[in-house]
Amino acid sequence: MKKHIAVMAGDGIGPEIVGQALRVLDAAARKFNHEFSTEHVLIGGIAIDETGSPLPEATVEACRKADAVLLGAVGGPKWDTIAPEIRPEKGLLGIRKALGLFANLRPARLFPELSGACLLRKDIVDKGLDVMVVRELTGGIYFGKPAGVEVRGGKRTGFNTMIYDEDEIRRIAHIAFKAAMKRRKKVCSVDKANVLDVSRLWREVVIEVSKEYPEVSLSHMYVDNAAMQLVRDPSQFDVIVTSNLFGDILSDEAAVITGSIGMLASASLGSEYAGLYEPIHGSAPDIAGQNKANPLATILSVSMMLLHEFDLEKEALCIENAVRKTLQDGFRTGDIMEEGKTLCNTIEITDKVIERL
């Protein structure tokens, strides 16, 4: 198979983890006789530095033409004080919108080998943890208008708008129910319907969609309770479907299930263009440039790309198994380090994965 991948390494640890994930992709391509060409394009802070924009038009064009997109992360303190319209994070929101990537799948699973690195209670961990967060990605408060900061009645006033129409809710609900059909057939819709009107509509529409999936059981939970339940006992969840903001927060929290945020991969999918694959974490400025970031979330994102984008099930599983074997053999980056294991840097742990492919 011959495929073309647009690569946006971005900022901070982005280039380090993406560089290593591409080594794994390359090794998989050689093993299975595929050809993956790559084209590096700019996004985020580095794009601002080089072009003045966090999302140059050339990047959008390259991503629209590509068979898949791989992203590292954007942002960092260097760009924290610049104008809000051109912050690195606007580049990320912009590419999601430009590619119509409305569904973000974030599978929070615990590799049993990392049970010791997981902060949750042992009896909970022993149940086996596997939660799929389905986050709406191109609507809600991150995109709603009006938004801004202005002087009202002599006071500086900041405002954003959380807005969803029924079509936006319906399409993400379908994604969640379809995902549940392939899993344990449970969907929990997370909202704040006791307070927010937008959540009332969310709940109404999710219930309507659920009628088309009679085999799937649907429950509802307020987001504050969901945040607590996720760390109290995540084994109660199968698929969680939620809005952009709640999904952003809950999926970082769900990373506790995996042992570290450096383990959680994701797929951002739409219907018009190829999908974008990215770890859920940010650019981790505190460890950038030190060769100590965990590249496994990005490597697992490549595995998700092979599966979701190219239907290469065997190849995807091979990468996942190589990651599992690496952990089984006791190799760890600092974020998942435990006593008696071998500490590796970013490049070394990738070497171990490649050896085990």
Ligand X SMILES: NC(=O)C1=CN([C@@H]2O[C@H](COP(=O)(O)OP(=O)(O)OC[C@H]3O[C@@H](n4cnc5c(N)ncnc54)[C@H](O)[C@@H]3O)[C@@H](O)[C@H]2O)C=CC1
Q: Which residues are annotated as a binding site for Mg(2+)?
A: 224, 248, 252
Structure tokens at 130: 């596997």
Q: Out of 101, 280, 284, 322, point to the residue binding ligand COI (CB under 6 A).
A: 280
Spatial distance between the Cα atoms of 141 and 160, rounded to a whole number of angstroms:
6
What backbone torsions phi and psi does residue 342 show, to the nearest 5 degrees? -100, 120
Residue 142 annotated in active site: yes
Q: Which residues bind ligand X (CB under 6 A)?
A: 13, 17, 73-76, 89, 92, 261-262, 278, 281-287, 293-294, 297, 335
Least CB distance to ligand X at residue 138 (A): 14
Q: Residue ranges for the binding site for NAD(+)? A: 76-89, 282-294
Residue 49 annotated in active site: no
Among ligand X, Mg ion, ligand COI, none, partner that 28 touches (CB below 5 to 8 angstroms by kind)? none
Sequence-distant (≥ 6) Cβ neighbours of residue 124 within 8 angstroms: 233, 234, 235
- Full strand arrangement of the beta sheet holding 267-269: 35-40, 2-10, 68-73, 276-277, 267-269, 103-109, 130-136, 239-242, 186-191, 217-222
Least CB distance to Mg ion at residue 142 (A): 10
Residue 252 annotated in active site: yes
- The verdict on 315 binding Mg ion (CB under 5 A) reads no
What backbone torsions phi and psi does residue 44 show, to the nearest 5 degrees? 80, -145
What separation in angstroms does the CA of 5 have from each of 9, 183, 217, 224, 272?
A: 12, 29, 37, 39, 16
Q: Which of residues 245-264 bind Mg ion (CB under 5 A)?
A: 248
Site string for ligand COI, 231-260 (x = CB under 6 A): -----------------x------------
The label of the residue with tokens 């580095």 reads 46
Q: Please pick, among 142, 164, 213, 277, the residue that the annotation labels catalytic.
A: 142
Among ligand COI, ligand X, Mg ion, none, partner that 176 touches (CB below 5 to 8 angstroms by kind)? none
Given the DSSP bridges, would you call strands 103-109 and 2-10 parallel, antiparallel or unpaired? Answer: unpaired
Structure tokens at 113: 């080998």
- The verdict on 17 binding ligand COI (CB under 6 A) reads no
* List of residues contacting Mg ion (CB under 5 A): 248
Residues tagged active-site: 142, 192, 224, 248, 252
